Amino acid sequence: MASRITALIILLAGIFLGFFVYTTEVNPSQFQFKLGLDLAGGTLLTYKADLTTVPENEQDDAMQTLRDVIERRVNVFGVSEPVVQTQTAPVDGGTEKRLTVELPGVTDVDAAVKALGETPTLEFKLASLSYDAAGTATTTFTETGLTGRFLESAQLQFGPAGAGAVIAEPIVALTFNTDGTKLFADITGTHVGEVLAIFLDGVPISAPVIQVQITDGHAVITGINDPEEARNLVRNLNFGALPVPINLVGAESIGPTLGATVVNAGLMAGIWGFIIIALFMILWYRLPGVVATIGLLLYAAIVLALFKVMHITLTAAGIAGFILSVGMAVDANILIFERMKEEVRAGKNMKDAIKEGFSRAWFSIRDGNLTAIFTAIILFYTTTSLVKGFALTLILGVVISMLTAIAVTRTFLTAIAPSAVTPKVRFLFGSGLSK
């Protein structure tokens, strides 16, 4: 009786989850499926990062800072579910650091490039004079390592008006983070009396002379005549000055029509795949096959509900991972049913056969699924975003499939199985073409 009550509760919970998945999708809600770039359409931008001036042991930190800065820019741009990732790409026998930006729903490539490309590259360089043989002076700029990745904030201020000026001079006040403060103190302490030029996107915008060592991490950009220009500069710097220069190497626009086609194809593949699997399970395994089919429906409801609640972004590869996990769930049921059949042939009653069948099949199910999970984890942490979606849905699907195969299917079978093995029971719980 207890197993039947448990089975009924599980069945009602599955119906509730199925209702939740359906109603939250047909009616606008916060739990609608989040579609990735390949399904919703949008823009994919690929940037190459110039790390020639960054020490090798600091390049990973620079790329992480770059990703954070661009992500802030994307958020300001107002894109829903953006994906900003760093990756290492093979190029001509070597590698290069790249940044990929996925903007679902944004089909205007030019607008996206403009929105992300306006963030300036801020650099501080020491200026010195060099003379050629003719005595002509040339200004030479030396890298200091102090760049926008050390910038914490920028603020617009107004200094005192100069002689003949009507309004006060706009000043952009910069505040550096902890590392930047130390670096700035070292530079100003060892180069007093020298010019520390401030470059924005490779163009010098100010050339102040270091008067004293500055240890509090504060600097100012002067020489800006237009307050609106200063205001725009502050806005851009607060969005995040790029720690390293980036160059656009690829821009791809994916139309929503293509995305809809992929969604429909994936949906039809899932439906037909489920129908074929269900028919096979019912025709070959009879009553246990019916139970397995119900278990698969519950499995699908649980996984889809988790996709919604966890706000997992679905891609075409992710859908493929989900469909593959359905096949693994069926594989677990087949192992269980075959072990059950062997126990019945050995003369055990049906309830004992179910118990022993699950116990004997568990080790094979566990090992097979753990292998798939470990492989998917490796894929998730070592590959691109396209494969990450496949790996994530596969991991989630395999974990839930183990739970449904061991807990749900077993509970249902125990609830309906009689103790005695009559010819009718043997037929209903048998398999194949034999009676």
Site of tokens 């504060």 = 218
- β-bridge partners, 27: none
Residue 250 resides in a domain: no
Residue 249 resides in a domain: no
**Residue-number span of the structural domain to which 332 is assigned:** 2-37+255-428
CA angle 432, 357, 419 (to 5 degrees): 85
pLDDT score at 163:
46
pLDDT score at 276:
87
pTM over 0.95: no
CATH code: domain of residue 74: 3.30.70.3220
pLDDT score at 89:
78
The span from the CA of 171 to the CA of 222, in Å, is: 5
Contact 429, 339 (CB under 8 A): no
Q: Number of structural domains, the chain?
A: 3
- β-bridge partners, 251: 45
Domain end point (choices 64, 95, 119): 119
Show the low-confidence residues of the chain (pLDDT under 50): 163-165
CATH code: domain of residue 198: 3.30.1360.200
pLDDT score at 216:
92
The span from the CA of 184 to the CA of 41, in Å, is: 45
Number of H helices, E strands in the chain: 12, 13
Tell me: do 371 and 423 sit in the same domain.
Answer: yes
Using the CB atoms, write b or e for 177-215: b if 16+ within 10 Å.
eeebbebbbebbeebeeebbbbbbeeebbbbeebeeebe
At 31, give phi and psi (nearest 5°): -105, 15
Domain end point (choices 99, 119, 139): 119
Tell me: do 401 and 276 sit in the same domain.
Answer: yes
- Residues 6 or more apart whose CB falls under 8 angstroms from that of 366 comprise 402
pLDDT score at 186:
93
pLDDT score at 157:
87
Local structure of 221: helix, strand or coil: strand
The span from the CA of 319 to the CA of 298, in Å, is: 17
